[in-house]
Each structure stands twice: as C-alpha cells, then as structure tokens.
Structure 1
C-alpha cells in the first residue's frame, strides 16, 4: 500500500484517476464497444469524403502538399554521396522477406507474419480485440518485436531504392506487403492496433510510399481506395484514443500521435474529419513539446534516443506546415531549436554518436539514410535545416533526410558555425566538459518527471571518437528482472552502489519509487582546469558526492560518501566502452584506445578494497552493454568493493598511460601534470579546493 501511495504522489491524482478509469473500461468491455472490429470491405469511402472527384485526382492534389511532388530526378546523382548501394541491398532483402529489426537483427520469412515475435518464436493472437491483449508478460514476449515490422519502416528503403534504381519490384513489394497487412490485420483486431503511436508511425510510412509510387502502374485505383480507407481509420482511431497518450503515457507517444493526426489532416483535406485532425494535432504538437522539452533543451524522458525520436516527429510536421503555409508558434520553434542544440552539445564528432544514455528501444522512425543507427547527424541535420534554413554539418553524406523533406536546393544552404563547448543544462541536469580531443558527460538532477534509470552521477567519457567510459544501454523492456535491474539500475552505470541496492526502488518495469534528489554544487572552467561537483541522497542517510576535474586531458574523479553507516558494502563501477582493457594491478586498468595510444584508469581509496574485471559475466550479472535493442554484448567492467563503517573517499585518475600523477589521500592532494589539486575534508562544502 505504501508503494502504491507513492506512485500516486509521484504521478499525480489526475494520472491515477485516468488509469483506474481506463482499466475499468477495458475490463467492462467498453473499449471494445468504442473501437468495434469491422472490415474495410464494409466501408463506403465516399461517405467520408467531402469531394466527388476520382481518388487519383484527389491524391495528385494531396501530393502538392507533401515533401515532394515527384520522385527526385537528381537523386541518382547522389548515389555515392548517400551510399545508396546500401539502400538497394536493404530493399532487395525486403523484397525477399528479409527484415532488419532495430537496426541490428536480420530475420527471414517464407511469408510475412505480422503477429510473430522472432526473438522467442511465438505469436500474439490475431483474432482478439486489441484491448484484450496484454502489453507485457504474455506468451508472445516483448510486443516491440511484433510492432517493429508493423511500423512499415521498410517503406523508406524501398522508396530510396526505387528512386535510384527504378526497378518495379520495389513498388510491387510495397503494395503487396500493404495488402497482406490489411488482410491479416482486420481493423481493431490483434496487437497492431494496441498503440496509437505505432499506428501513427505506420500512417506516416504509408504516405511516403503512396506519394513516391503514385504515378506507377502498380498503384491502382483499388489499392488507392484501400490505402485511403486504412489511413482514415488509423487517424480516426488515434484521435479517439489520444487521451491515453496524453493523460497516461505522457511522453513521446503524444507527440507521435499528434503528428499522425496532423499528417492525415493536412494531406487529405477532403476527409470529412481532416480539419479536426489537423487542428487537434497542431494544438498538441505545440503544447506537448513545450512541457516535454525543458527550457534548456533536455527532454522529459531522460533518453538520447527518445529525444531523437521526438525530434524526427517534430521535423516531419514542421516541414509539412512550412510547405502548406501552416506555420507553428515561434515559441515552439525556439524550444525545438534548443533541443537540437542540446543534442549537438552532447555529440561526438565526426562519428555523430551521443552517449548511450537513458532508454534506447531501437527507434529510428524515418530511416532515410545509410548512416549508422548510432549516428545522430542525419536527424539533427534535417531538424536544424527546417528550423533555421541552415545546415548543422558540412558533410553531404548526412543530408539525405534534408534532401527528401526539403529538396536538393537545401543541400546548398550554408552550415551554421556552431562550437561545441563545456555546457550546463541545469533544468535537465546534464553537464558536459570538453577539450580538443575528449569530452565527459555527467548526470545530476532532481527528477521532476518519471525517471527511467537509477544512474545519478553517472560519468560518460569519450576520447577521439572512442567511448572510454560508457552507459550500458537498455537491452530489453520485457526480459527477466535481473537484466532489467542491471541495465536500468545503478550497477551498470559509472557511479557508486551501496549494499548492491539501486539509488531508487523499482516498483515495476517502468516505475521507480523514491525518486533521487540531487544538486549540483559547482561547474566552472578556468585556464588550467574544468570541474564539476554534485551530490545525491538516493541512499537515505548516506550522501554520495562526486567531483570531476579535467586538466590537460587527464581526468580526476573523486567520490565521497558520508553520513550514517552501518557496516555497509560500497561498490564503484567503471564500464568501459572499448574492448581492450587489462587489469594491471588491484587498482589500475590499462585501456587500449588503438594501436598507438593507451590510457590507464587508476583508483585509490581511504579504505582497503578488492577489485575485479568482469566481461560478459552472468553470475554476478556484470560486464554487459547494449547499443541496439534486444542485443547485448560483453564489455569490460571494473568493480571495486569495500566495507564501510565511516566516511570514505575514492579518487580515480584517468588519462594517457604515460602521463604522470600523484595521489596522497592522507594529505588530500592530487597532482596531474603541473597542476596540484587540493581536496577538502570529506563532507565539507566542496570536494575541490582550488583557491
């Protein structure tokens, strides 16, 4: 009961009341009545249209409202720049029923199975109403594996391949798979109607294929009519069910669903509900973005990948608005710019990667690029151009999304001259420290909205494109609790754990209790050094305070623990994002960056400690990392453990193997290069004394 009361306090009475009402509606069968199953063959499309012209003529008018009015004629000339051989190869696989899930797993089918989970080889019921099918814990496993194929993201490589190669098979595959989906997914039956976000992403993908292949002979009147029926149903369903995303899910789902409504309303003005969808979509795109994106550009879901998902959806609708002179409020556009800048300041160039921070479910909703899934430049390039009329990066290879949404003339736009620098994002609680070759990210915040992972004071470190100290990622939402607690919990993050407990209490797969309270104590840049200090109270009467100081590309990390101890066990974890790590001694690890450069990580402690280096260990579960959803791989993880009945301090020095340093815990001094750093007593006002 105590946990339930805390959930109510954290999530609010409105959320709680809505959830109770919604669950009652499910149990009483009211959702089945509100969303009754039917067949598209029963529908007379003309009753939903405000115009009587033939459908092809209507769609020709609709295409003038779209990103392109014909397949781009100059696209073939970009074959090498955009690496379109990859698009052709992927499209050829798709034509042969081979699909890549979450940018990583390749599965092959004899025939399409829209309700099948290839990860556990089980299927969800296709003949049950969606409201009667569970999201989690069912025999068919993680529903995301089913939804991934049904998002129709394979449409984008089919269009890209057709635009460069011109082969009819790509068009026929699009229509054949669409018809197969409709045949095997009667409206409102099966798992593919459970989520309005999934339906919205599918709707967007359908429009991309529809307008790209509109002039092809395979795009027949019958297929057009079926497509318009399905789009109408999807938009209508999303609008009717939107309150669930708005009041219960309260994250990127509402943005995606608002984008789906806006897309249908804007592109098909002859639908009788088009104006309702357009207005409602536009209203909530703006209002939801204005609270989901904090003033400093950080995002409510505390996730780099979910932030990219939101950015891609907003880019899509903002560009549609520009084309159709339906402009959005400047305050919203400015907030959108700020979230792009936030991502840019956390980006490693030239790879385009960001820290693998927060939940990463493999989403890449508009994959109009051959760049790697982990490369965020294509999405940010398109967003920056739509909001500013300039490019963010000079490389044409990351500009294919820009090309499709804004035309080839956009590639000639100037690149903004933006600098990456040490930055603080206090609303979201992100701090970056940068020098010419390295950057670190530190997390320190008091949660205002639902947390995703128990990772306060996590430290991510990058050097010359290599993720030296890394975040473990997510792996899966629907796996055993040990894996959920490892990847989402404190143990996999580069921070301190006490008594093998997380900083917060796990209530369910997506709910944490005892939300961590933190505060930043210092963040400054000087000629000789840069530093950050912060602390959190996630362990009750014990405070964890962390200080990070960078000088000359050497990094000092000081972890102080103070408060009320009772023979506690303290662990300090360092998960490496590179494979070649060797334990040199009990307190030193050698890290091979490449064949010519080696770093070392050395840790000192005021208490005696033991240490281990784990890689792919199942018991204990340590030494794992997941860059792609549903995929984990062994990575080295150093763990130091000691008993504590009083305040203690860890000092970790990270830098080039040949760099000299000196640590005296008794005297509170650390020397790196020519800089002498004085440390205050544990539990004082600050860690570093730089006066």
Structure 2
C-alpha cells in the first residue's frame, strides 16, 4: 500500500487514541452563519431540479414506481436494491434491522467500529440513512400528482433529532454523510415551495448541512489515503459542489476550491487511461458514472467546467462499461465487489440494468441518447435535462470481435450471440477479490458461465473467504488456496500481477493468452498461464491452464455454470461437484451446482453450449 498509506494509518490510529479526532469533529459544533429560509430561496444557486411547480418532465405513471413508493410510505425499504425489509414508520436510525443490534448514540463516531461481530454489517444501518429512497418518493409525488412533502421532511427531521452531531454510526462514514446531504438537496429544491418546508425545519437542516460538510472536509485524508476508491470520489465531489449548493456557508469557498483540486486528482488517478477503474468492480464503476453525471450537470447548470481530463476519463469509462454490457437487458458481468449501491435511483429499471446510468452520462457528453427506449432516456431529465460541455464527444458504438483494455486488464470477445470476458490484470491498487484469469461467458444476455458475486462484507469467515477468494470464480486454486494470501477483511497479500496478455486471431478462432504471477506465497517463482481458444464456427471454448514452479501441489480448475445447456469436459480428468454460492445482489445468495477438475501442473478443458 506504500509508505504514505502506512504513515497515515499510524497517524490516524494515534489521533483516535489520544482524542484528536474528537477535537477535530466536536459534538457541540455550532453553525454561526444561519440564514432564513427566505434568504436561502432568494440566493440559492441552480440545482439539477427546480421546484415541482416548474418541472416540465413528461409524466408517466409507472406501476413499478407506484408499488415501490407505496411500500416505502408504509415503512418498508428495499435494502441494497435486492431485499425488502419492514422497518416501520417509527424506525430507529441507529438500529441494524438484520439482527436487532442498536448502536450507542452517546458515543463519538470515532469510537464506533464499522466491523463488529456483535453489531453485524453496519451497511444495514447506513442504508436508510443514505436517503436514496427520497428520490423514489419525489418521482412518485411528481408523476402521480401527490404531495409527500410532509412525509419527506418528517423523515429528515426524524433523522436529525435521532442523530446528534458527530455521534453514533451514521456519522462514521464520510461517504454516507455526503450522499445523505446530496439526496436531501433533491428534496429541498423540489419541495422549496411546500408548506411542510418550515422555518423551524430549515434551521435544523442547515446546521446539519454545515456539520456534514465540515466533517467531510476535516476527514478527507482518510478516504484519499487510507481508502482511495469511490469513497474519495464521492467525498471530494461533495466538497467541490459545496459552494454551489451551500453558498451561505462561508468556508465552502475554500472547501470547494480544495475539493475540486482533489476531485480532479482522484479522477485522474482512479480511472485508468483505457477507462477502466481501480476498484476492478463493475458496480463501483457505475457508482462513479452516476457521480460524474451529477458533477457535470451541476457544473453546467452553474456555468462552470472541470479540467478536460475529467471529461475524457468519463467518456472512456462509458466506453468500457458499454462494451461489457449486454444489449438484451443492460446487464454486465457481476464482477468485483458489488454492495448493491445505486446512489441516485431516478429510473424504474432493474438494479442490474446499467442502461439508464450509461445513457445519462452519454447524453451529457455527446448530446445523443445511447438507447432509444423512453423509459431509459427518462433518467436524463432528473439530472436537469442533460446540458452539455462545449465540445461534445462522438456517439459510442458496440465493437464486434476482440477488445483489449490493457491498463485494467480486461479482454473481451463479442462474436455472434456470445460475449466472452476474461480478466488478466496488474495490481498497483488494492485488489478486493482473488479473481485474476476469471472467465465469464454470456449468450443473448444470459450469463451462462458466471462470477459468484459478493454477498456481504461482514459475514462469517467461511463465506468471506469463498466470495472474495478464487473458489467463487472460474479460475484455478492450488493446495485448496486462493491465488493470493488472505489477510484481514479487505486485505490480500502477494497480489497477482500480469506478466503478459494478448489476443490472436486466425480464420478459425480467437485465441487469448494470459500469464500472471500467482500463488507467490507458495513459491516466489510461481506463475499461472491461461490459453483460451474461441471457435468461430462452433459454440466451443478450449481452455488450457499451465502452472509453473508448483510441482507436487494439488490443483483444481473451478467452474460455475448457470445454464443446463452448457457442458464442461476435461479429457482424462475426474469431474467433481461442489456447492456454488451465487450472490446476484448484496446481502443474499442461492446455493447452486459448481464443478471442478483436480489436476497437477496442467489441464485442458472444453466448454460447449447447445442453443435451444
């Protein structure tokens, strides 16, 4: 992780121990520049939305939107875009609904662990406090001519009354704080003329806004050094737009200036030159796409611009995700960490469908829609109509044949109705899963050879090792161990590294050859080479794995088929079954059938698919 990371972590733990974090984030923090609600209305800058009375978005009464909103109004919440849980109207904001554990609201946030066996997964506490569900209610309010302002503001006020500044679990994470206030902004602007938006409520809200931006700014090094992933992009963006959204806070002039500098640095660093993303995760990459859409729209609304490289990286990101996307349903491989995040739900599309989010950013950058369906295009309006930079980019098109994204280490082949995806990458940034040389295969939008997903970040050690490890991927294990050595929580030792990777093409086939350093904790010289031959004339993939400097170790080649039409054979090797856990959505999994072939040193396998 580097010397900078080590020095910071030592400093952070020391500051936590001696109480410096408490002093920097005081519980009695007061905002001394409060303004009246009328002053805010008069002097506010442009946001993505206007007041509901001025909106001209075409109205569409979707039954999906109606059913979802009505469940929320009854006290239910869709956790991680996957599982409904009944919370009740008088929900306690410090409660983990998955196990009933209540966090201590008298403790400073620096004393709250985000990993605790007793408390369970803290993400269950954060989910409602993120307030993404407000955007569903706002859209329901608009399209169905309702007035949910009293319900929305009572939810915000309930949260404020239940979460003292800098105390308890909901002040623990700066990203969650940033998202909460951004989602509140949708409500503040949309309901700006509502009788439920009272002076008393505004007085409470502006004090929490100040404490929130103050918290993020004074703890930004944690996300930029210790974490450095989508958290840092979210938080630096929040600071970047703070002077636009909260001009009544004098400090935002400096905070926004610093924030923009940091945000542009994070985009430059985290999005590689080929458009791939340092977290090696499809869903977290989509998170960045949504953040970029918000950033560009808000800046355009207020006649501001980012540095050119930010737009270039955004366009390249779009291209990578679009090339991986299945046209039939908008799905991408369930590759990398997937915690169910969709920060701004302004579409009725299913969570695994990436089309609305890709289309919105594409429209902002190109002035053209990427997809023609009105339901997909409708998201653009909730980002303010898609005002565009002065130099629009060209419309993207889907590439057939083979593609290389060498910086991120992704190699794609789109041929006839099939899409083949293989990872062979370097790791200069922390890998979350031991999945190098993983192979995904799709047929007409169906994932016929799949990744097992993520499940949870805080579960029992057996499942953590499975979902983060090589066992949950279509790759190889040695000595029943993953290709990297597991450390604590998100930590791996002996990171795998790409030695070489390339596509070759003949009249008969597409041929991939990739070689990595792997299993270095067993032998410093150990390597794994995977050669894959994709037939152009038959629905057939030949996969050969060769491992070096691991003589005498037992090995197994693992597969997770998800279609009865797929057949996997290895000549002379015994095929054994095992229970394959499959987590399509965070927090849940199913038990399915996996298979593996024991071998020593080398194995060649044939995969065939019989279309109905």
TM-score tier, shorter chain, comes to over 0.9
TM-score by length of 1: 0.84
Residue 245 (structure 2) aligned to one of 262, 267, 273: 267
- Is 2:16 the partner of 1:59? no
Equivalent position of 1:278 in the other structure? 256
Is the CA contact (8 Å cut-off) linking 2:174 and 2:216 kept in structure 1?
A: yes
Residue 9 (structure 2) aligned to one of 5, 19, 26: 19
Cα distance, 1:562 vs. partner?
Answer: 4.0
- Whole-Å separation in 2 of the counterparts to 1:307 and 1:179: 32
Aligned pairs for 1:473-512 within 5 A:
473-512=453-492
The structure with the larger Rg is 1
Aligned partner of residue 431 in structure 1, secondary structure: strand
Aligned pairs for 1:403-422 within 5 A:
403-407=381-385, 416=395, 418-421=397-400, 422=402
Equivalent position of 2:598 in the other structure? 641
Aligned partner of residue 623 in structure 1, secondary structure: strand
Cα distance, 1:369 vs. partner?
Answer: 0.8
Structure 1 unaligned spans of 5+: 1-10, 579-590, 592-598, 615-621, 659-691
- Whole-Å separation in 2 of the counterparts to 1:626 and 1:265: 40
TM-score by length of 2: 0.94
Aligned partner of residue 631 in structure 1, secondary structure: coil
Cα distance, 1:96 vs. partner?
Answer: 1.6
What whole-Å deviation, never above 9, does each CA across 1:484-514 have from its counterpart, x for those lacking one?
1111101111011111011000111111000
Aligned pairs for 1:415-494 within 5 A:
416=395, 418-421=397-400, 422-494=402-474
- Whole-Å separation in 1 of the counterparts to 2:566 and 2:588: 28
Equivalent position of 2:589 in the other structure? 632
- Is 2:133 the partner of 1:157? no
Equivalent position of 1:679 in the other structure? none
Residue 552 (structure 2) aligned to one of 552, 559, 567: 567
Equivalent position of 1:609 in the other structure? 573
Cα distance, 1:265 vs. partner?
Answer: 1.6
Is the CA contact (8 Å cut-off) linking 1:196 and 1:241 kept in structure 2?
A: yes
- Whole-Å separation in 2 of the counterparts to 1:356 and 1:419: 20
Residue 214 (structure 2) aligned to one of 236, 245, 252: 236
Question: Alpha carbon RMSD of aligned pairs, Å?
Answer: 2.1
Aligned pairs for 1:133-172 within 5 A:
133-168=112-147, 170-172=148-150
Cα distance, 1:29 vs. partner?
Answer: 1.4
- Whole-Å separation in 2 of the counterparts to 1:230 and 1:203: 9
Cα distance, 1:74 vs. partner?
Answer: 6.9
Is the CA contact (8 Å cut-off) linking 1:344 and 1:420 kept in structure 2?
A: no
Cα distance, 1:390 vs. partner?
Answer: 1.9
Aligned pairs for 1:28-427 within 5 A:
28-38=18-28, 43=30, 47-48=32-33, 54-62=36-44, 64-71=45-52, 77-79=58-60, 84-110=62-88, 111-168=90-147, 170-407=148-385, 416=395, 418-421=397-400, 422-427=402-407
Cα distance, 1:175 vs. partner?
Answer: 0.6
- Whole-Å separation in 2 of the counterparts to 1:133 and 1:319: 36
Distance 1:224 1:458, change over 3 A: same
* Higher alpha-carbon deviation: 222-231 or 479-488: 222-231
- Is 2:532 the partner of 1:545? no
Cα distance, 1:281 vs. partner?
Answer: 2.0
Distance 1:61 1:436, change over 3 A: farther
Cα distance, 1:119 vs. partner?
Answer: 1.6
Is the CA contact (8 Å cut-off) linking 2:286 and 2:357 kept in structure 1?
A: yes
Aligned partner of residue 468 in structure 1, secondary structure: strand
Cα distance, 1:234 vs. partner?
Answer: 0.7
What whole-Å deviation, never above 9, does each CA across 1:48-101 have from its counterpart, x for those lacking one?
25xx6x422422442x51112232767674415xxx332222222222211111
Is the CA contact (8 Å cut-off) linking 2:474 and 2:557 kept in structure 1?
A: yes
Distance 1:74 1:212, change over 3 A: closer
Residue 605 (structure 2) aligned to one of 626, 643, 651: 651
- Whole-Å separation in 1 of the counterparts to 2:311 and 2:588: 36
Taking CA–CA contacts closer than 8 Å with sequence separation of 6 or more, which of the two structures ends up with the larger relative contact order?
2
Is the CA contact (8 Å cut-off) linking 1:302 and 1:451 kept in structure 2?
A: yes
Aligned partner of residue 635 in structure 1, secondary structure: strand
Is the CA contact (8 Å cut-off) linking 1:574 and 1:637 kept in structure 2?
A: yes
- Whole-Å separation in 2 of the counterparts to 1:184 and 1:328: 38
* Higher alpha-carbon deviation: 420-429 or 525-534: 525-534
Cα distance, 1:519 vs. partner?
Answer: 2.8
Cα distance, 1:269 vs. partner?
Answer: 1.7
- Whole-Å separation in 2 of the counterparts to 1:635 and 1:130: 40
Cα distance, 1:171 vs. partner?
Answer: 1.2
What whole-Å deviation, never above 9, does each CA across 1:425-463 have from its counterpart, x for those lacking one?
001100000112110100001211111111111000000
